[in-house]
């Protein structure tokens, strides 16, 4: 009987010497050996080494592939969907819990909190937990459980923070009658774009249809700019910037009569410059 190492050498020599050799075995793709094979690039050593590799063992049954997040930070009022992906779940239960309270199981809700709903379609490998209008008190560790033995669990620490808004500048602003008022409001620590940012004066929504009033809202910067031209004494009051998903900000606006003595200047408006440092300056105009 020919030793294996000798056979290996012989096969290697044949492979290197014969560029077109009809191998007497079925080829790797299962085709018949009737066709000629170009053996100039055939490496019998590599082929045998590949055959000796141990097959990779795969896990049978339901497999949880979702990772465990350390923290998931959102702002108050946001809508959150926590996802849990389970392969080949079959009839195994997949549930969500919070502080040992079962919230959902499969497509069914167990909690009385109607803000929570399961997100799962038949045949899908995704088992989501949808949470609308989240509040800071909803902050907790949420866990996805796969009912295998042993149990598979993925966890996420949901942190709900209070977003807030700021109106740049002082808490009280004085503007000369006939001048222009500029107010810039920005929403900070917010995870979702506000559905709206409304401006109020003395708890009443300002009249956006007035020609003297213009509002410019930017989604990218979560900001809103209010401009009141030709301001008069009736425009004095408490101005509030109210985003849909953040704590409001307010500023007191005083309108005063500009000096009319010759050569003096009257304050026409207030301009906010947003930069690494926030500064305010007054626009001026000469009065007769």
How far is 284 from 153, CA to CA, in rounded Å? Answer: 66
Q: Are 231 and 268 in contact (CB under 8 A)?
A: no
| Token couple for 45 | 């050593």
Q: Is the pLDDT of residue 266 over 90?
A: no
Q: So what's the pLDDT on residue 198?
A: 95
Provide the mean pLDDT of the chain.
76
Q: Is the pLDDT of residue 224 over 80?
A: yes
pLDDT-derived band at 89, boundaries 50, 70, 90: confident
- Flag whether the pTM goes above 0.75: no
Position with higher pLDDT, 67 vs 227: 227
Q: Is the pLDDT of residue 143 over 70?
A: yes
Q: What percent of the chain has a predicted confidence (pLDDT) above 90?
A: 44
Tens-digit pLDDT profile for residues 35-78 = 444 445 555 565 555 555 444 434 567 888 876 567 888 888 88
Q: So what's the pLDDT on residue 193?
A: 86
Comparing 43-57, 177-191, 194-208, 232-246, the range with the smallest average pLDDT is 43-57
Q: Is the pLDDT of residue 254 over 80?
A: yes
Q: So what's the pLDDT on residue 209?
A: 92
Q: So what's the pLDDT on residue 261?
A: 59
């Amino acid at each position: 009987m020919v030793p294996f190492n000798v056979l290996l050498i012989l096969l290697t020599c044949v492979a290197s010497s014969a560029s077109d050799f009809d191998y007497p075995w079925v080829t790797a793709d299962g085709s018949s050996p009737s066709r000629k094979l170009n053996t100039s690039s055939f490496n019998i050593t590599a082929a045998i080494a590949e055959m000796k590799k141990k097959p990779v063992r795969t896990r049978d049954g339901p497999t949880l592939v979702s990772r465990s997040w350390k923290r998931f930070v959102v702002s108050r009022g946001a809508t959150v969907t926590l996802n849990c992906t389970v392969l080949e779940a079959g009839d195994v239960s997949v549930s969500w819990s919070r502080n040992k309270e079962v919230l959902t199981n499969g497509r069914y809700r167990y909690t009385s909190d109607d803000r929570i709903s399961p997100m799962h379609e038949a045949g899908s490998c995704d088992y989501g937990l949808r949470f609308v209008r989240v509040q800071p008190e909803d902050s907790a560790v949420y866990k996805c459980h796969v009912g295998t033995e042993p149990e598979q669990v993925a966890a996420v620490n949901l942190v709900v923070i209070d977003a807030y808004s700021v109106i740049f500048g002082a808490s009280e602003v004085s503007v000369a009658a006939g001048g222009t008022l500029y107010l810039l409001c920005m929403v900070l620590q917010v995870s979702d774009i506000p559905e709206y940012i409304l401006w109020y004066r003395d708890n009443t929504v300002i009249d956006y249809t007035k020609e003297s009033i213009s509002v410019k809202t930017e989604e990218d910067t979560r900001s809103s700019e209010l401009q009141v031209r030709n301001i008069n004494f009736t425009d004095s009051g408490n101005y509030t910037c109210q985003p849909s998903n953040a704590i409001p900000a307010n500023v007191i606006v005083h309108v005063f009569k500009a000096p009319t003595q010759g050569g003096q200047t009257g304050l026409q408006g207030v301009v906010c410059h947003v930069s690494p440092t926030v500064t305010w300056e007054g626009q001026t105009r000469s009065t007769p």
